Amino acid sequence: MKRHVIACIPGDGIGKEVLPAAMAVLKAAGEKCSFSIDVRQFDWSCETYAQTGKMMPDDGLDRLRDHDAIFLGAVGFPGVPDHISLWGLLLPIRREFDQYVNLRPVRLLPGISSPLRDKAPGSIDFWVVRENSEGEYSQIGGRTGLGDDEIVVQQAIFTRRGTDRILHYAFDFARRLDRKHVTSATKSNGLFHSMPFWDERFAAVAAENPDITTDQYHIDILAAQFVMSPERFDVVVGSNLFGDILSDLGPGITGTIAVAPSANLNPERRYPSMFEPVHGSAPDIAGQGIANPIGQIWSGAMMLEHLGEEEAAALVMQAVEAVLVDPELAKTPDLGGKSTTAVFADAVRTKLLEL
């Protein structure tokens, strides 16, 4: 029997509730599809930070290295500034393991209503591919001058290698999905150097992929298009900043961040990829057992897909959708129901075993 060794980092707040709930579902999918999941748990969190001054031990990255994937809940807690959890855990993992693709499905699930009017389940169904390693999020720049004369410079870094590899990923991914259209997010009318370069590379990579059609929009009108006609997209590729914004707008138009998943991928599989829900640790509801586990379960389905367990991944999502439309089964309070994390996840597990 195939065995997948997974590093689980539940983290803080509701991460500690939704991750074990999701893992039970994934293990059931394993039973059904004849593979096992070997969980290695790492209790690294803002609690660890409060006790040791570090989010993870010095050899933390080395301890993660040999796993098939990393399954993360959420990190962050009131009193610990966001940059601590970000720079102390998330970013080092993304960097060390060269997870240069951030992939997010934008799909309206049945039983969940979009804030946009008259959208049927499945009518919104596309993917955002965000560049996850360079671009606008750089530490290069600085502040100089005093008072009214202060000047701030923030540099963006676009490398040819970094740009080409994310564009290639987007085209390859569209081909794999058999959704042969890629949309590029640009702003070459405002950003004088970086975006004309991005457009140039997009055109070059598009020319290497003649079976795939393309278009490009400036980020401002693209954001408006996400709201006005989200049905038109298949795969949308953007730089780190534009991709970041679009990949939260996506969950916004499909109802709630609580159900949205994400993958931080090292497509070459030289290092482990990391799968985590879009939501954070939600301290306002942590400890009550009412968090919606769908974002974590869906992230788990993406992880199974990445591990080559496509059938199991599809079963997990089929089970989630079946529970969402079953009038006998309650949803969690964020979706207007009265269920708990454990009861909802167990209903998904039971459905899955019945499929």
Question: Given the rule CB under 6 A, which residues bind ligand ATP?
Answer: 14, 18, 74, 76, 257-258, 279-285, 291-292, 295, 334
Within 10 angstroms of residue 39's Cβ, the number of other Cβ atoms is 17
Q: How far is the CB of 269 from ligand ATP (least distance, A)?
A: 29
**Residue 166 contact partner, candidates Mg ion, ligand ATP, none, CB within 5 to 8 A by sort of partner:** none
Specify whether the CB–CB gap between 324 and 332 falls below 8 A: no
Place of tokens 């989630």: 320
Q: How far is the CB of 27 from ligand ATP (least distance, A)?
A: 20
Candidates 227-235, 275-283, 292-300, 331-339; binding stretch for Mg ion (CB under 5 A): 275-283
Q: Compare residues 14 and 116 and give the one whose CB is closer to ligand ATP.
A: 14
Of 87, 95, 101, 94, the residue nearest 131 (C-alpha):
101
Reply yes or no on whether 220 is catalytic: yes
Q: Is 161 exposed, middle or buried (0-12, 13-18, 19+ CB in 10 A)?
A: exposed
Specify whether the CB–CB gap between 277 and 261 falls below 8 A: yes
Reply yes or no on whether 148 is catalytic: no
Q: Compare residues 11 and 121 and give the one whose CB is closer to ligand ATP.
A: 11
Specify whether the CB–CB gap between 276 and 74 falls below 8 A: yes
Catalytic residue among 16, 187, 331, 351: 187
89 DSSP assignment: I
CA-to-CA distance for 198 and 204, rounded, in angstroms?
10
Structure tokens at 42: 């790492």
**Residue 284 contact partner, candidates ligand ATP, Mg ion, none, CB within 5 to 8 A by sort of partner:** ligand ATP
Q: Establish if 111 lies at the interface with Mg ion (CB under 5 A).
A: no
Q: Establish if 280 lies at the interface with Mg ion (CB under 5 A).
A: yes
Output the residue with the shortest Cβ distance to ligand ATP.
280
Catalytic residue among 125, 164, 199, 248: 248
**Residue 162 contact partner, candidates ligand ATP, Mg ion, none, CB within 5 to 8 A by sort of partner:** none
Q: Compare residues 244 and 321 and give the one whose CB is closer to Mg ion.
A: 244
**Residue 295 contact partner, candidates ligand ATP, Mg ion, none, CB within 5 to 8 A by sort of partner:** ligand ATP
CA distances from 351 to 27, 100, 304, 309 (A): 14, 35, 18, 18
Q: How far is the CB of 282 from Mg ion (least distance, A)?
A: 9
Specify whether the CB–CB gap between 99 and 75 falls below 8 A: no
Q: Establish if 251 lies at the interface with Mg ion (CB under 5 A).
A: no
Q: How far is the CB of 171 from ligand ATP (least distance, A)?
A: 31
Reply yes or no on whether 244 is catalytic: yes
Specify whether the CB–CB gap between 243 and 237 falls below 8 A: yes
CA distances from 155 to 24, 135, 158 (A): 44, 9, 10
Catalytic residue among 12, 68, 234, 244: 244
Q: Compare residues 111 and 280 and give the one whose CB is closer to Mg ion.
A: 280
Calculate Rg over the CA atoms of the chain: 20
**Residue 111 contact partner, candidates Mg ion, ligand ATP, none, CB within 5 to 8 A by sort of partner:** none
Specify whether the CB–CB gap between 183 and 235 falls below 8 A: yes
Q: How far is the CB of 341 from ligand ATP (least distance, A)?
A: 8
Reply yes or no on whether 27 is catalytic: no
Q: Compare residues 39 and 86 and give the one whose CB is closer to ligand ATP.
A: 86
Catalytic residue among 172, 220, 326, 338: 220
CA distances from 237 to 32, 65, 154, 192, 215 (A): 35, 28, 23, 19, 11
Which residues, other chains included, contact 350 with Cβ-Cβ below 8 Å and sequence gap of 6+? none
Structure tokens at 55: 């989010």
Q: Which residues are catalytic?
A: 137, 187, 220, 244, 248
The footprint of Mg ion (CB under 5 A) covers 280
